[in-house]
Structure 1
Amino acid sequence: MGGTAAGVTGADATEEGTQRMRGQHTPVRHTRLQGRAGTTAREKSIVLAGGGPRAAMLLERLSANRPALFSGPLRIHVVDPFPPGAGRIWRRDQSPLLKLNSRAADVTVFTDSSVECAGPAVEGPSLVEWAAGVLDGSIPDGRGPHGTDADLEAQLRDLRPESFPTRRLQSLYLEWFYRSTVAALGPGTTVEVHADTVVAVEPNGAAETHGSAEANDAGPHHVRLATGVLLPADAIVLALGHTEAAPSGGSAGFADFAARHGAVHVPPAYTNDVDLSVLAPGSDVLVSGLGLAFIDLMVLLFEGRGGSFRESSGRLEYVPSGREPRLWVGSRRGVPYRSKIRGDLRGAAPASPLFLTPAAVAALVERHGRLDFRRDLWPLMAKDAAYAYYRELFTGHPGRTEHGWERFSARFADVDWYSPEREALVAQSVPDPADRLDFEALDFPLAGRRFDAAGAEAAVAAHIEDDLALRDGGENSETLGLFLGLLSVYFELGRLVPPEALTDESRSLVAGWWHGFFSYVDSGPPAHRLRELLALHRAGMVRFLGPGTTFGTNEADGTFVGVSDASGHAVAARSLVEARLPEAGLAGSANPLLRSLAAAGLAVADHADGRLVVDPENRVLDAAGRPVPWLHAVGAGTTGWGSGAFARPRSNAAPFRHTDALARTLLSSLAALRDAPAPASPTYSRTRLQADLAAAHSYLG
């Protein structure tokens, strides 16, 4: 299927839109402006492979920066089978039960004045402000061309700053942002949307020019879509988001085992897109993982199958529908992600990191060359996050501390994080050991403990209860101080330390442990989801295997087996769900575009973690390690920083800084392209000619 074009008007637009809705493509028309004698000012083009939030943010940054950097005609192709702006993950067509794990007040897609970037700021509403504007009519097109349903209207009316909105409501906000961005584009810019998938890139129409910077002045490259259409592109941006991956390692073994024994294996995937009907009512199901994918699974299998929750005697109870399976869930930690925090700071205002600073990082580079994450960076990051925690504890809850914040902070600044002096200072100043921050205990709260089967379940349930009391009661605002401290160093690490400055092992640690730890502490589910989890546990619908859980198979009886090393208790079941997203990156990707780029030598996987290698300007590196000047990539599957799609308002968030820089790089490179002499006739590659002939035959019937 093709798409709709912005910037085409009148009868042509109506006919073109009708053809595209029928799955037909008309050839792309280029606008040509007369330039200097003997040359033609060619319309430049950008292809965005992926149309989700990150692509929409890039489109907005292209719009904001274009007046200062590029004056020629520009066509932007947005290619995504899902609606532009929302994309796959945030599309409207999904379960109305699935929610964001961010509050409505903490979501924006606008590069506001807090963002430290070269491009101009563009103020705009956060999600909750947008909803209010839709309701009062100040944002007249907020509901979109197709309107809303009763459920979305109720969500708009009920949304509050502290609400956790559904992904369906978020889709309206993102689609409105995309439409507003396109409407704000000045004359000479056309945006064309293709409800299609990019499958390959043909550099300058000839295979021998792969990766050649010199070929960039010879004319546009070509992007091949799944329908066979070829789009011209002077620059290409991969904004693919989370892509599917071919089963590998343990997952491949589980898939093979299930096929041989007639068992059920659900591999890593976006939960909403999984066929969960294979999990039969009343059956036992092993679940590997207790992160956000597990929360989605829980919602869809219980409330999604007709179950409900009710308050009874001061606590939540689950009322089953009779169509649910029983889940046996475990993970390395054995506990779910920590709940999102409710409440406000009571003490001193947050401040910028004091220890992970440009000067500190420069000194480390001078001393060591490439940086070791554990040795060089984590002690500074831990100290900054702890400083934010203790600042709130001392200034917001002085009765729980001794000696005062000024004295403590002065001494704290002079001691190393992993030192007896720091431990002694905290012990002298914070009387209750429960108030002392220990990152290792925070990461693995049940480590080193032994249980029987019942004890393991009780320990996990008690941990969840304690976490809710600590983070959702509003009385322990030091946890919010820690949240903000970790968020700050997460962004600061990406700002100060390029991936190439790290050792190979450290790049793997950042992509693995650090991102996982940050998500576990700062990016967990809303508190009400953990209350629902406890209600399901009390109802016997969800059973906890405990920490240190591993999963295997039993060839003798064709079952999967889950066992916790903390208890030794084993559970067997005919079904296993791996509740997580596929590994992001190039290695093992099932995405046809990524696979074709790798096969052509235009992209390479990082040998440390398998992600797509990009340089500091987000240019893809080819197999020889050279940046491909016209091919960029952003997102979780790359070695670049700033993979988020949106962020908190007024937070100078990394995704906004990086997206602005990328937009300026793209526009500057387009402005630098030489206009080629106008050819006597179009030059087609054999592949492009075949695709255009096929499209013409389809159109003519």
Structure 2
Amino acid sequence: MPANIPAVVFIGGGPRAAGVLERIAANRPDVFAGPLEIHVVEPYVPGSGRIWRYDQHPGLLLNSTAADITMFTDASVACDGPAVPGPGLAEWAAGVVDGSITGVPDFPRQLWDQLGSLTGTTFPTRQLQSQYLEWFFRRTAKSLGRSVTVHRTTAVDITTLPHGPHEVRLANGHILRADIVVTALGHTDSRPDAASAGWSRFAARHGGFHAAPSYTTDVDYSAIAPGQDVIVAGMGLAFVDLLVLLMEGRGGRFEETSDGGLRYLPSGREPRLWAGSRRGVPYHSKISSALRGQAPAPLKFFTASAVEALLQRHDELDFRSRLWPLIAKEAGYGYYRELLTGSPERSGMGWEEFASRYSGLDWYSTARADLVAAAVPDASLHLDLERLDRPLDGRRFAGLEEVQSAVTGYIEEDLALRDSRDHPETLALFLALLHVYMELGRVVPAERLNAGSQQTVHGWWHGFFSFVDSGPPPHRLRQMLALHRAGLLQFLGPGLEVTADEATGMFRAGSPQSGATITASAFIEARLPSTSVTRSLNPVLASLHRNGLGTEQQLLTADGIHSTGKLLVSSRHQLVDAGGTPQATLFGIGPGTSGWGAGAFARPGTNAAPFRENDALARAILTVARGLATKPPATMSPEPAAVGKN
């Protein structure tokens, strides 16, 4: 019998799929060098996909600098496959400019201008990032030879045939035979939850405006009138994008003032935004300082051996009581190492003495607090992670004026700490938390966490890390202050509560910590839609659920069964079917799965979690393909598979 050529179908062709493809190419000589048939189904441009596509407002930026972005699995990545070095975004841009990197399109003038001015510290536009991602995909596809076929359409259904392979039905009518399917769907849309759906119906009844959680750049805000009051729930990265679209996107502009400040010059078409959230403040600014003290070292407390010791003593681990104290201690160790070795004038104790005593103390012990007080006389420099997470907790405000003062003061202080050469300890904290975030999925088996802790990891821990480490460029916070001074952005405070008043047809919003409220006919939920397989608007996720090939992750907690909304995958990224069985030839990866997940691209030299996951998944796919290649060809579906670029 002739050898079977395994067919692998990727549903989704964004940066995460491109990363797995690169790892397939790198691992083929070691795992399976035989012929493969690879199909990538992606309605947008492969590489950038929907989220990172070029067709976005040119003012939208990444929240990482160019030096912190790479798609290449470098030598720092602890994986079984070989490292394949390549240019990060900054090196790629320089190579395009000097001609050493080829295979790029004829860019429009504004992108050439960005390429020419880009440095490692630049926060690049998403349009420029799209071109790097698309170049990476083309480069990877070329390395796989003629194996890769791209289908510029949407997958709408997956079924498993009686004789084993799968069929993937496409929106253009074609059907692909697939021995192996990889869902790499990225961020997807879901039908609004009950609360958001109710608000949309309320707005429709009363002639108002409501935007449910969505991707900011995909929402039509044209119904919002100039000068209209708009309540905004959420002050994270989606809120930053919203400011770009509703302010500069409507013709306004910022200008530097003679004293180095920033002024906003309105066009007159902007609405007035009233913003609040659970914390009541925007995400922390990205950091512009450089370390002055000892270089960061490997993790000392949150280590594989420390976690293994916990696993030996406990059947299940509780994140808050067992893991978080180690994480907090690790964060503090990095923070105080930089403070004491990089700014000795601020210290009352040498680092060696501090480190020796600190190592034996629990983070939440009085002895640790006393040690910090002796080593760092300035109490304002003491690291309080709870206060960092909820900076306005416990404060009462006499009214909206006090709220404005508190939030603007918070933003100004955050900029002084994080966008200044004077406080490199904030960078040390950033790096320590990043290292822990990347290590968590490697050293902690998800199945050994109790159900409540799995919720905590996907909820609070991810939110805390994003708040501290994944905030906007510092100039975005300066722009918020300028918009506030221009009267176009007001703050509602923490613990935001929004209600709908049928009698007036208006939304009402306020903070219980101030008691003050405002009313408006427009309400925007400035956050991403929550992941949900059962409410998904993605036809493939709906198909997986309908056909029993995939299911939502369910957690049994003390409060009952809780669904995370995520597509359940095994530790090997295999889809788990409705009966609870991992499937050998169906895989899922990305933010919508129950895997740890850590983005699609990362900082170079950080042993980045997504690159480790990509390598492990690629080797799993190739191992399955190697086994399939030795079997007789499966009976083909009567409808031919698609070929070429559709």
1:306 aligns with 2:259: no
Among 542, 567, 582, the alignment partner of 1:595 is 542
1:150 maps to which of 93, 103, 109? 109
Shift of residue 359, structure 1, vs aligned partner: 1.6
Shift of 1:408: 0.7
CA distance, structure 2, for counterparts of residue 225 and residue 643 of structure 1? 29
Q: Which one-letter code corresponds to 1:80 in the other structure? A: E
Letter in 2 for 1:375: S
Of 110, 128, 149, 2:90 maps to 128
5 Å matches for 1:309-458? 309-314=254-259, 315-451=261-397, 452-458=399-405
- Deviation of 1:259 (Å): 2.2
Return the match for 1:296 from 229, 238, 241. Answer: 241
Query: Could you tell me which residue of structure 2 aligns to residue 18 of structure 1?
Result: none
Q: Within the alignment, does 1:43 sit opposite 2:5 as a pair?
A: yes
**Aligned residue type for 1:649:** P
Aligned-partner Cα distance in 2 for 1:674–1:430: 64
Matching residue's letter, 2:19: M
1:192-220 deviation digits (Å, cap 9, x = unpaired): 1111111111112x4xxxxxxxxxxx453
Identity %: 55
Which protein is bigger by CA-based radius of gyration?
1
Cα displacement (A) at 1:256: 2.0
Secondary structure at the counterpart of residue 87 of structure 2:
coil
- Give CA-to-partner distance per residue, 1:488-542, whole Å, 9 cap, x none: 1111111111221111111111111000000000000000011001000000000
- Say yes or no: does 1:180 pair with 2:151: no
Greater CA deviation, 418-427 or 329-338? 418-427
Q: Answer yes or no: is 1:83 the counterpart of 2:83.
A: no
Structure 1 counterpart of 2:152, which letter? Answer: A
Q: 1:194 aligns with which of 125, 142, 151?
A: 151
Residue aligning to 2:218: 273
* Match 2:567 to one of 605, 608, 612: 612
The number of residues matched between the two structures is 634
Query: What pairs up with 1:502-581 in 2 under 5 angstroms?
Result: 502-581=449-528
Q: Report the CA distance between 1:357 and its aligned residue.
A: 1.3
1:182 counterpart letter in structure 2: A
4+ runs of 1 displaced by more than 3 Å?
674-679
Q: Which residue of 2 aligns with 1:220?
A: 165
Aligned to 1:203: 160
The one-letter code of the counterpart of 1:485 is A
Distance apart, 1:450 and its partner CA? 0.9
Q: 1:683: Cα distance to partner? A: 4.3
State the distance in 1 between where 2:157 and 2:453 align: 32
Distance 1:80 1:363 in 2: 44
* 1:560 CA drift (Å): 1.0
Quick one: which amino acid aligns to residue 626 of structure 1? T
Q: Secondary structure at the match of 1:462?
A: helix
C-alpha distance in structure 2 between counterparts of 1:219 and 1:629, whole Å:
11
State the Cα distance separating 1:586 from its structure 2 match. 2.0
Aligned to 1:11: none
Corresponding residue for residue 623 of structure 1: 578
Q: Which amino acid aligns with 2:565?
A: G
- Indicate if the aligned counterparts of 1:585 and 1:638 stay in contact, CA closer than 8 A: no
* Conserved? CA contact 2:11–2:41, under 8 Å: yes
**2:58 aligned to which of 81, 89, 96:** 96
Structure 2 distance, partners of 1:675, 1:120, is 25
| 2:618 is the alignment partner of 1:663 | yes
State whether structure 2 residue 176 is matched by structure 1 residue 231.
yes
Report the CA distance shift for 1:41/1:272 in structure 2 as closer, same or farther (over 3 A).
same
Aligned Cα RMSD in Å?
A: 1.5
Contact 2:159 2:167 in 1 (8 A): yes
Q: Distance in 2 between matches of 1:524 and 1:429?
A: 30
Distance in 2, matches of 1:589 and 1:430, equals 51
In the TM superposition, what whole-angstrom CA distance separates every residue of 1:454-490 from its partner, at most 9, and x where no partner exists?
Answer: 0001100010000001000121000000000000111
1:479-498 matched pairs, under 5 angstroms: 479-498=426-445
TM-score when scaled to structure 1?
0.89
* 1:410-438 residue CA offsets vs partner (Å, 9 max, x unmatched): 11110111111111111121111110000
- Whether the aligned pair in 2 keeps the contact of 1:288 and 1:331 (CA below 8 Å) is yes
Deviation at 1:244, TM superposition (A): 0.2
* Aligned 8 A contact 1:42 1:73 in 2: no
Q: Equivalents in 2 of 1:519, 1:666: separation in Å?
A: 31
**For the Cα contact (< 8 Å) 1:634–1:643, is it kept in 2?**
no
Cα gap change, 1:669/1:676 in structure 2, threshold over 3 Å: closer, same or farther? Answer: closer
Residue matched to 1:582: 529
User: What runs of 5+ residues in structure 1 fail to find an aligned partner?
Assistant: 1-38, 207-217
Q: Report SS of the residue matched to 2:518.
A: strand
Letter in 1 for 2:625: L
Give the structure 2 partner of residue 246 of structure 1.
191
Cα distance in structure 1, aligned partners of 2:331 and 2:536:
35
Deviation at 1:675, TM superposition (A): 4.5
Partner Cα distance (1:166, 1:284) in 2: 29
Structure 2 gaps of 5+ residues are: 556-563
